[in-house]
Structure 1
Amino acid sequence: MTPAAGKRERLAAAAAQVFHRQGVEKATIADIAASAEVPVGNVYYYFKTKDQLVQAALGAHARSLRDLILVLEQHEAPQDRLKALVRGWVEQREVAAQFGCPTGTLATELGKRADGLDRESAANMRALIEWVERQFAALGRSDAGELAVALIASYQGISLLTNAFRDPELMRTEGRRLEHWIDSLQP
């Protein structure tokens, strides 16, 4: 990786983190530069506008999802992959209590726009749903698409409640319920 590519990726990852913690509208270029440990002036070399940083943050989210899926695919059985996904969410419960789900909060914020970034954000969510659907299909479920949406909707809902009430235990409880639910769906 070239130094420029490394700095660009660092800025994209920092943008994703800052947008998650502060929101797109409140975050500044200076906040992102500080988080990436890059001089503010250098940011403009890589990203001319804040929207380009949002797009880079969406790319960072997509890369994180691909990396997560590679880890989850290490589990042999589809139900184990799904339960590992749920456990990963539960492990992030403190972050969810403070800031919500990184992907969900960004999707919600960008969903209020109609500039194309809303569709890019939705693509990340769709990629996760499609992966979950493949896991349910591998379990032999003819309703795999509906189950995938139900699982992701449950997680997004509990992330919202965990954040609203600042109560990470809500996510732990829902995680246990989801694991039992996944087990109950096996033939």
Structure 2
Amino acid sequence: MTDSVTAKGRAADKRRRLTAAAARVLHEQGVERTTLGDIARAAGVPVGNVYYYFKTKDQLVQAALSEHSAHLDALTATLGRLPDPRERLTAMVEGWIAARDVAARYGCPTGTLAVELDKRADGTLDAEAGAVLRRLIDWAARQFRALGLPDPDGLAVTFVAAYQGMSLLANALRDPEIMTREGTRLLHWLDSLHAPDPAP
């Protein structure tokens, strides 16, 4: 292996570590309270090296949003192995319930970031955060459509809105059991949905 290949591998690893750290630290601290130094420390990278990969904090925010999008893609790909769309939706909710302690402490990673970025007067990062949420809505709509349910797009918005609402309340009230209770209610709602009988 040549030195240049080794150096490229190390550089790619540092960038991956910084991107993962940005997603985690921005979720925990928010954009305004997070410094490049915070992210460098979380990634185990010298702070001076951060500027080699990311010139501004906004570039790190973009990297964090890409990390959220990649995580969503990996999750939905895993759920896609389940044979039934209702099982996929159920598994998604069960995952949200399992992450109740994190939600109660920090809120939804993408939702909280979208709200914070929307308050800024500059840039289009809020639209990028919204695009990640749109991907989740579109995925849910495909599941409802596969179940033959009417208004799959509307059902998908209801599904994701329920998650955002319970995450927000769990975080605001510091009560993870809100995720458990409302997640269970969401599971019952999913079970109650049935495609209409075909016309005779």
Same fold by TM-score greater than 0.5: yes
Alignment of 1:65-84 (within 5 A): 65-84=72-91
Residue in structure 1 matched with residue 100 of structure 2 by the alignment: 93
1:67 and 1:3 map into 2 onto residues whose CA distance is 24
Residue in structure 1 matched with residue 3 of structure 2 by the alignment: none
Amino acid at match of 2:99: Q
Residue in structure 1 matched with residue 59 of structure 2 by the alignment: 52
Percent of aligned positions with the same letter in both sequences? 59
Whether 1:161 and 2:169 are equivalent positions in the alignment is: yes
Shift of 1:87: 0.4
Whether 1:17 and 2:24 are equivalent positions in the alignment is: yes
TM-score (norm 2): 0.91
Pairing partner for 1:149 from 142, 146, 157 = 157
Residue in structure 1 matched with residue 42 of structure 2 by the alignment: 35
Deviations 1:78-119 (A, max 9, x none): 000000000000011000111101111011111223411111
TM-score (norm 1): 0.97
Residue ranges of structure 1 left out of the alignment (5+ in a row): none
Instruction: Calculate the aligned-residue CA RMSD, in Å.
Output: 1.0
Whether 1:131 and 2:146 are equivalent positions in the alignment is: no
Shift of 1:23: 0.4
Shift of 1:2: 2.1
Amino acid at match of 1:168: P
1:95 and 1:165 map into 2 onto residues whose CA distance is 13
Q: After TM superposition, which residue ranges in structure 1, 4 or more long, deviate above 4 angstroms?
A: none
Shift of 1:142: 2.3
Deviations 1:13-65 (A, max 9, x none): 10011110000000011100010010100101100000100110111111101
Aligned residues: 187
Residue ranges of structure 2 left out of the alignment (5+ in a row): 1-7, 196-200
Shift of 1:131: 0.2
Q: Residue 76 of structure 1 aligns to a residue in which SS?
A: coil
Pairing partner for 1:64 from 71, 74, 81 = 71
1:9 and 1:107 map into 2 onto residues whose CA distance is 22
**Quick check: which has more Rg, 1 or 2?**
2
1:154 and 1:105 map into 2 onto residues whose CA distance is 15
Whether 1:186 and 2:159 are equivalent positions in the alignment is: no
Residue in structure 1 matched with residue 110 of structure 2 by the alignment: 103
Shift of 1:71: 1.2
